[in-house]
Amino acid sequence: MVIVDAEAVIRLRQVIARLARRLNASATSEGLTPTQASVLALIAGRGPLTHSALAELEGLNPTMLSRVVGKLDDAGLIRRVPNPVDLRSASVEITRKGRSANERIKAQRAAVVSACLQRLPADQAAILIDALPALEALAAELQPGRNPAGNGSSGSSR
């Protein structure tokens, strides 16, 4: 195990937060909040999903998720699909309109990152690309249900 000093950990967390805030802003051009764009992307990538699966993946409480799903449904980006076996439950799936919006958001975010990478010195851009497997592993460790702190708790604190 590698021991990382507290200052480096703080800097890493801060830069991840700054990157997330700036990339989340790209969803606003579609009229979505960052949370709505994130839920839409989850449904696009993994759907159809139940409300409970969405809540767990996104780390949202059921009330907040219900509001987000309602807004996405009202906008025609997703649709609710009743469970034929249990009419009290439903899943959500993306619509054609929702898939188009999600693709535009992904393209905007990719363009922002690409433009920024091109402005960096080539050696720094290469270091970031080489670090992708480590960053992906870090993201996997931060998934809800994982226990990165080793303190017996799980889940996300958003």
Query: pLDDT tens, 42-61?
Result: 999 998 999 999 998 888 99
Residues of the chain short of pLDDT 70, as ranges, are 26-27, 144-158
Backbone φ and ψ for 51, nearest 5 degrees, come out as: -60, -40
146 found inside a domain:
no
In a domain, 78, yes or no: yes
**Quick check: is 75 in a domain?**
yes
How many residues are present in the chain?
158
Please give the pLDDT value at position 59. Answer: 87
Q: Is 155 left (phi over 0), alpha (psi -120 to 50) or beta?
A: left
Give me the domain span that covers residue 130.
Answer: 6-141
> What pLDDT is stored for residue 158 in this prediction?
36
Contact 57, 49 (CB under 8 A): yes
The reply to whether 147 falls in a domain is no
pTM of this prediction exceeds 0.95: no
Q: Which residues pair with 30 in a beta bridge?
A: none
How far apart, in whole angstroms, are the C-alpha atoms of residue 36 and residue 52?
16
Q: How many structural domains does the chain have?
A: 1
Q: Would you state the pLDDT for residue 149?
A: 55
Q: What are residue 78's phi and psi, to 5 degrees?
A: -135, 170
CATH number of the structural domain spanning residue 44: 1.10.10.10
Give the closest residue to 78 by CA, choosing from 61, 66, 88.
66
The whole-number pLDDT of residue 147 equals 55
